[in-house]
Amino acid sequence: MNKLLIIALSALALPALAAYPEKPVRLLVPLAAGGGMDTTARSIATPLGERLGQTVVVDNRPGGGGNVGVDIIREAPADGHTLFMGSATFIVHPLLYKARYVPTRDFSTITQVTSQPYVLIVHPGVAAKTVKELVVYTKANPNKINYASSGQGSLIHLTSELFKVRTGADMMHIPYKGMGAAYTDMLSGRIQASFPSIISVLPHLKTGKLRALGVTTLHRAATLPDVPSMKEAGVADFDVSQWYGLFAPIGTSRNVIDRVYREVAVILKSADLQKRMAADGSDPVGSTPAEFAVHVKAETARWSEVIKKSNIKAD
């Protein structure tokens, strides 16, 4: 009897799975075209459409710190025909600002698509050659090391503060409106440290104008094979990356979520796509919906801790 019931329920689920998608799928990107998130979304949209049998259209909806796109996905039908590309910043935003959404409450996770490590860098004028030496130096010379971020409350800011929480390092935060101006001051030595993305700082590392001490993920980065991870450098409980992932409106069918996840996971195994992502400093992930949900909860808990301990306020 139980077996018959299972077979009957499975049969009922098949039409819903077979019918999806019934029309083109919209992939919302809450930022302008041309950035890292947009590039990632477009890299999977075409092959995903081919595998689903319907066009996947990337729909850029910048504005309101990402809230324009968030409001659209929150109000979209939970039928899988509107998806959303979120990021680590998407998790941090409601922790700092009065937001109309809570990621763990308002969205269903599909899969983490990419991970982009940060790297701790210093100006060559800083005597420290290792992470440990930098921490020792900052403790002996309070506020002598200025670190740059891309803005108050940015992920680079939070990553730097997490480093201070985990190590006791004493560094002064200097926020910039983007890393462009920050690099000018770092190259001149007016700013001594930062946690930029690998892809943005790589040219300066190759010329020796800046020095890398450690990458922020648990494993070394392929683009910086000689630079230790923070774990190798002795910093415990430190695994940070900028990431992009797919979400759906809460209540979306498990069949639909699993279908999109499976197709994206296959796409991310493409050698050509992996090569292009590596050129952008990204690692493909393709986690399961459950694994991605655990990741989002962990990110929320960690950044909440950092914001509280470091008393970080929004601009």
CATH number at residue 281: 3.40.190.150
Is 64 a domain residue? yes
Q: What is the pTM of this model?
A: 0.88
| 140 and 189 co-located in one domain | yes
Q: What is the DSSP pairing of strand 193-194 with strand 146-149?
A: parallel
CA 185 from chain center: how many Å? Answer: 26
| 127 and 165 co-located in one domain | yes
Distances (CA, A) of 44 to 16, 19, 115, 224, 277: 24, 21, 15, 26, 11
CATH number at residue 176: 3.40.190.10
Q: Which residues pair with 214 in a beta bridge?
A: 120
What domain range is 154 assigned to?
119-215
When pLDDT is cut at 50, 70 and 90, the band that residue 290 belongs to is very high
Q: How far apart are CA 96 and CA 304, in angstroms?
A: 9
Question: Six-digit token pair at 109?
Answer: 């996770």
Give the mean pLDDT of the chain. Answer: 92
pLDDT in tens, 85-141: 999 999 999 999 888 899 999 999 999 999 999 999 999 999 999 999 999 999 999
CA 188 from chain center: how many Å? Answer: 29
Q: What is the pLDDT of residue 270?
A: 96
Is 12 a domain residue? no
Q: What is the pLDDT of residue 18?
A: 52
CB 103 within 8 A of CB 112: no
Q: Is 72 helix (H, G, I), strand (E, B) or coil?
A: helix
Is 18 a domain residue? no
H or E segment at 257? helix 254-267
pLDDT above 70 covers what percent of the chain? 94
Is 234 a domain residue? no
Contact partners, residue 234, CB within 8 Å, separation at least 6: 131, 132
H or E segment at 50? helix 36-52
| 190 and 272 co-located in one domain | no
Distances (CA, A) of 211 to 134, 135, 170, 224, 307: 12, 15, 19, 11, 28
| 95 and 83 co-located in one domain | yes
Give mean pLDDT, residues 233-261. Answer: 96
Q: How far apart are CA 250 and CA 76, in angstroms?
A: 10
| 272 and 293 co-located in one domain | yes
| 33 and 100 co-located in one domain | yes
When pLDDT is cut at 50, 70 and 90, the band that residue 24 belongs to is very high
CA 245 from chain center: how many Å? Answer: 8
CB 33 within 8 A of CB 61: no
Among 171, 199, 215, give the residue marking a domain's end. Answer: 215
E strands of 44-192, at which residues? 56-60, 82-87, 107-117, 119-122, 146-149, 172-175
Q: Given a cut of 80, is residue 6 above it in pLDDT? A: no
Q: What is the pLDDT of residue 163?
A: 98
| 123 and 192 co-located in one domain | yes
Give mean pLDDT, residues 231-258. Answer: 96
Picking from 73, 113, 39, the residue whose alpha carbon sits closest to that of residue 280 is 39
Domain count, the chain: 2
Among 215, 230, 253, give the residue marking a domain's end. Answer: 215
Q: What is the pLDDT of residue 9?
A: 47
| 286 and 201 co-located in one domain | no
Is 163 a domain residue? yes
Give mean pLDDT, residues 178-206. Answer: 94
Is 314 a domain residue? no
Is 224 a domain residue? no
Give mean pLDDT, residues 249-261. Answer: 97
Is 248 a domain residue? yes
Q: How far apart are CA 11 and CA 15, in angstroms?
A: 8
